[in-house]
Amino acid sequence: MPKTLTQKIIDAHIIDKSYLEYGIKIDQTLTQDATGTLVYLEFEATGIPKVKTEGSVSYVDHNTLQTGFENADDHKFLQDMAHKYGIYFSRPGNGICHQVHLERFGIPGKTLLGSDSHTPTAGGIGMLAIGAGGIDVAAAMAGMPFYMPIPKVVNIILQSKPNNWVSAKDIILEILRRLSVKGGVGKIFEYTGNGIKHLSVPERATITNMGAETGVTTSIFPSDDITKAFLLSQKRGDQWKPLAPDDNATYDETIEIDLSSLEPLIACPHSPDNVKSIKDLEGKAVDQVVIGSCTNSSLKDLLMVASVLKGKKVHPNVSLAISPGSRQVLMMLASTGALTDMISAGARILECACGPCIGMGQAPRTNGVSVRTFNRNFKGRSGTSAAGVYLTSPEVAVACAINGKFTDPRELGAYPKIHLPEKFLIDDSMIIPPAKKGEDIEITRGPNIKPLPTREALKDTIEIQAIIKLGDNITTDDIMPAGAKILPLRSNIPEISKHVFFGIDKNFYERANETKSSGIIAGENYGQGSSREHAALCPMYLGIKAVLARSFARIHRSNLINFGIIPVIIDKKAYDAIQQGQKIRIGNILGAIAGKGTLDVHFLSSGEKISCKTDLSGREATILRAGGLLNYIKKKGNY
């Protein structure tokens, strides 16, 4: 039977399969510093002396702003852990994890699991690359399979060729416009069609990166001659192999996009799927433009920006900041003179790091308009709650920077001619290999690195108070905010937990701390956004025992289970009936998660009873019964 490319890679890595989920072997892992400290504390707790993957890489790219000792202490801890346990360490300044992994580690046909939701970026090079909670990554490093719900595979057929000034960013924005931020849940996007031959690997990676905003498990392009040329340019041509779906492969769904019909697009505040044509906003004043992030910081992107800026000046009312995606990109911009063109135009050159995308600096002014080539524009993520953040391509962004207002880049004239070299500059001196004798390494732990909290085994009946009631599409930023003030606390669960839901309810921490046994009520797609397990771990620390929601985002649902929080599915009637402050008893928990009956939800004040479900696999039920994945791993004892 003809197979999709997705199925071919899964079949080559399958270890376990049930009617609900696949368990696959993971070849590579990646972590970044905002999630990595917990990942390595979790891996250390397994007692495994060395990672069992083909390759694992620890990147420092999120918490690079060192306004106190916390981030620097974390960097030292991460470097020691990498030396000790057989992990490559990408030093601060070497670049954003997804850009560097694409350049130096990505291999077509391999599986990659990362503690960052934009890990699917590597799908642009033909990897099956999936974002997950940190503890799932720790388990994969310990040699355990990674489990995912059996996905639907969607064939996105790209036809024809994009017009000048229309880029890969416009393709993924068009997909978001059609499908929304929950349109990819439970799916894998597989790209085919004659249009893909017009997309370089970094352009494909832009699409697979931002596909995460649809809730998709991952996205993947075939490995073809374009992939080969990219690997040859990185002096890794021996790692290339051709990969494609079989002719007449059957897909669960098909979406067709005529690339020649697309125009420059922009995602308006405060959601990546609030997409409009740039024509709809033309003339609106712009205060800030930021170009970079893991979505649009490749050499091709920035050479285009530099070419447009050459001989021009940034508008006096605009602050333009540019963050190259990797040290390799920065060095090549410098060697070609493109960096000089940017600086001469008035651009502010930032570190090769996530920076403003994760709220680390460059916060816009109050009520400001910020145009960014990033992947998320959730309210407050920029560091300024009152600002409006618009997501778009580098082409639109640089046009806005020059004119000081929303501008269709097609008004700039002829598209610049970009010449990419056949060979890129290769300098891996900031990627440190693991120590030959890891057992001799002592781990340095700063005072901000606290032990992991744990949860006891699950009980059959719990009593909770509905401590907060939320609407649809609650993001992990809503649950556990990012930003320069909060991110340095990622290694300190007791301290960072004080910020849970702070942007929605400033009294949440105090109420949760007093209640001790609580529940969260939410609408559809609860937990969309990043892979940050802090959005589950911190509520667990504060006594959250269950989340009752109409539906869950994939990664967050797994994170809840991994930390012993019951994900309860409720219908609209139940959602409407439950009010904040109500006390609830949930019974038959152990029976329900084993598939024996439903959860008995009893409103203690009114006496009303409703039945709810959990839809767990047998493996997930076992993890939940144990009180979380770490307890499960310790109890299982073999890998």
DSSP secondary structure, 197-211, as one string: GG--HHHHHHHHHHG
Question: How sure is the predictor about 595, in pLDDT bands with cuts at 50, 70 and 90?
Answer: confident
Provide φ and ψ at 189, rounded to 5°: -90, 125
- Higher-pLDDT residue of 630 and 306 is 306
Question: Mind listing the domains of the chain with CATH numbers?
Answer: 5-261 (3.30.499.10), 265-411 (3.30.499.10), 462-636 (3.20.19.10)
pLDDT at 638: 46
CB-CB neighbours of 148 under 10 Å: 23
Confidence of residue 373 (pLDDT cuts 50, 70, 90): very high
Rounded to an integer, what distance in angstroms lies between the CA atom of residue 418 and that of residue 412?
16
For residue 606, what pLDDT is reported?
Answer: 81
Residue 203: other Cβ atoms inside 10 A: 22
Going from the C-alpha of 404 to that of each of 109, 124, 304, the distances in angstroms are 44, 33, 19
Scored b (16 or more CB within 10 A) or e, 510-535 reads ebbeebeebbbbbbbbbbbbbbbbbb
pLDDT at 637: 57
Q: What is the chain's length?
A: 639
User: Considering only CA atoms, which of 155, 151, 106 is closest in space to residue 129?
Assistant: 106
CB 589 within 8 A of CB 462: yes
In this predicted model, what pLDDT tens digit does every residue of 434-477 receive, in sequence order? 999 888 999 999 999 999 898 999 999 999 999 999 999 999 99
Distance CA 301, CA 345 (A): 17
pTM flag (> 0.85): yes
Residue 213 has pLDDT above 50, yes or no: yes
Render pLDDT for 525-560 as a digit per residue (tens, 0 to 9): 999 998 889 999 999 999 999 999 999 999 999 999
Closest residue by Cα to residue 552 from 458, 622, 473, 466: 473
List the structure tokens of 501. Answer: 């839901």
What pLDDT, on the 0 to 100 scale, is given for residue 605? 80
Q: Judge whether residue 639 has pLDDT over 70.
A: no
Average pLDDT, the chain: 95
**Range 601-617 average pLDDT:** 88
Nearest to 281 by CA among 259, 265, 262, 260: 265
Residues 6+ apart with CB under 8 A from 1: 250
The predicted model gives 109-131 an average pLDDT of 98
Q: Per-residue pLDDT tens for 222-242?
A: 999 999 999 999 999 999 999
Tens digits of residue pLDDT in 137-152: 999 999 999 999 999 9
Residue with the two structure tokens 């959250």? 544
pLDDT of residue 608: 86
**CA–CA separation, 502 vs 479, rounded Å?**
8
Average pLDDT over residues 351-376: 95
CA 113 to chain centroid, in Å, comes to 11
Mind listing the pLDDT tens digit for each residue in 574-594?
999 999 999 999 999 999 998
Average confidence (pLDDT) over 376-402 = 96
What is the structure's pLDDT at 454?
Answer: 86
Q: Does the pLDDT at position 252 exceed 70?
A: yes
Q: Report pLDDT for 421.
A: 92
